[in-house]
Amino acid sequence: MSVSPSFAKNDPELVEWALRCLRVPRDQVVRLRARGATRLPVDTPVTAGLLLSEFAELQEAATCSDLAMPAGATECPWTRRQLAELENDYADEILAKRVTVLTLLERFPAITLPLFLEMAGPIRPRYYSISSSPLADPRRVRITVGLVEGPAWSGAGRYRGMCSAYLAGLEPGDVFYGYIRVAAPPFRLPDDPATPVILVGPGTGFAPLRAFLEERALTGAAGPA
C-alpha cells in the first residue's frame, strides 16, 4: 500500500483575509532571501498573493515562539502585555482553540510582521492512502478523503481543512499535484489470495481497506474477511 502526498492551495477568501491583516496588496512583488533550508521560493520575484496561496501554511496554530516574536516587533505596551498573557496561557488559549498567527495579527493590529512567512512556514504536504487496487487500472489511483469541516474551535466562523476542502472543490479535469510514496513498513495483503484477513483501520481510516477489498474482488478471492 502506498500513500500519496498532496499539495493543495489555500482558500482564496483566507488568502484575501491574510493580505488584509498584513496590509499587503495581492500584486505586490517580493523577493525572499533564504536564512536556511526552506521550501519557500527564494531569490525569485513572486507576488504576495501567490506566496500566500501556494506556499505559506495559513491555518496552523500559533506556536509559543510565534507569540514571543511579535512581542519584539511592536512598541505597543498593551499588545506586548496581551501577548505575554497568551504565552502564559498557551495550552488553553492558543493550542486548544487552534488560534493561528493570522488571528493574532487581526486581533493585535499594532503588530507589524515582516517575518510572517517565516512564522507561518511552508505548506506541508498531506498524505492520502491509495484506496484502489492496481489490478483495476495500473495507471490510475483513487484516494478517499474525509472533508475536515465544522465550527472553528477558536469560536470564530467555520474551519475547513486546507487540503481536504481544496480536493472537495476540484472539478473533473482539474490538475492536482502529488507524488506516490511506498509506505514503510509495507502495508499490503498476504501473497496468497486465499488467506483470510481481518481489516482494521490503522489510524488512517477506511481508505486503504477499500483497495484491499477491491483487490480481493478482482482476484476472485472474495469471501469471509
Ligand X SMILES: Cc1cc2nc3c(=O)[nH]c(=O)nc-3n(C[C@H](O)[C@H](O)[C@H](O)COP(=O)(O)OP(=O)(O)OC[C@H]3O[C@@H](n4cnc5c(N)ncnc54)[C@H](O)[C@@H]3O)c2cc1C
- The 10 Å Cβ neighbour count of residue 3 is 22
Q: What is the CA radius of gyration of the chain?
A: 22
CB of 134 to ligand X, least distance (A): 16
CB of 143 to ligand X, least distance (A): 6
Nearest to 126, CA basis, from 161, 172, 168: 161
Grid coordinates given for 126: 498531506
**How many angstroms separate the CA atoms of 111 and 119, rounded?**
13
CB of 144 to ligand X, least distance (A): 6
Contact positions vs ligand X (CB under 6 A): 3, 59, 98, 126-129, 143-146, 148, 150-153, 159, 161-164, 204-205, 207
Using H for helix, E for strand and C for coil, what is the string for 154-188?
CCCCEEECHHHHHHHCCCCCCCCEECCEECCCCCC
Residue 217 neighbours by CB under 8 Å, 6+ apart: none
Measured at CB, which residue is nearest to ligand X? 161
CB of 5 to ligand X, least distance (A): 8
Nearest to 133, CA basis, from 44, 212, 29: 212
Residues forming a β-bridge with 177: 7
CB of 17 to ligand X, least distance (A): 15
CB of 107 to ligand X, least distance (A): 16
Grid coordinates given for 50: 501567490
Nearer to ligand X, 108 or 128 (CB): 128
Conformational region of residue 156, where left means phi above 0, alpha means psi within -120 to 50, and beta covers everything else = beta
Nearer to ligand X, 126 or 216 (CB): 126
Dihedral over alpha carbons 133, 134, 140, 143 (to 10 degrees) = 30
